[in-house]
Amino acid sequence: MISIILVSAGLLLTFYGTVGLLRAKNTAQKLHFLGVSDTIGSVLIFTGIAINWYEVLAKIIMVSLITLITGPLISHIIARSIIQKEDRK
């Protein structure tokens, strides 16, 4: 039951990010919607899967950690490149 709740919450956050992507006006807002919702949504989905498939728990933990580190990092790098591109104009 807990795994279903976690996976559903992760899917809901991912869906929220996709709707935000379609509704946002500029690239920075789109990036903000996707960066936050996809990172947390993915980790919730991974956690829900880990509850049922404990034999691959180590792999799921590693993927979750990589997602938690690289998701915000990539969003930050893209946002900085957008700001620097706008400053050059």
Residue bearing the bigger pLDDT, 54 or 50: 50
Please report the pLDDT score of residue 33 as a whole number: 82
Dihedrals φ, ψ of 26, to 5°?
-120, 175
pTM for this prediction: 0.80
Please report the pLDDT score of residue 35 as a whole number: 84
Confidence category of residue 64, pLDDT binned at 50, 70, 90: very high
Say what percent of the chain tops pLDDT 70. 99
Report whether pLDDT(89) > 80. Answer: no
Range 17-25, long-range pairs (CB < 8 A, 24+ positions): 17/41
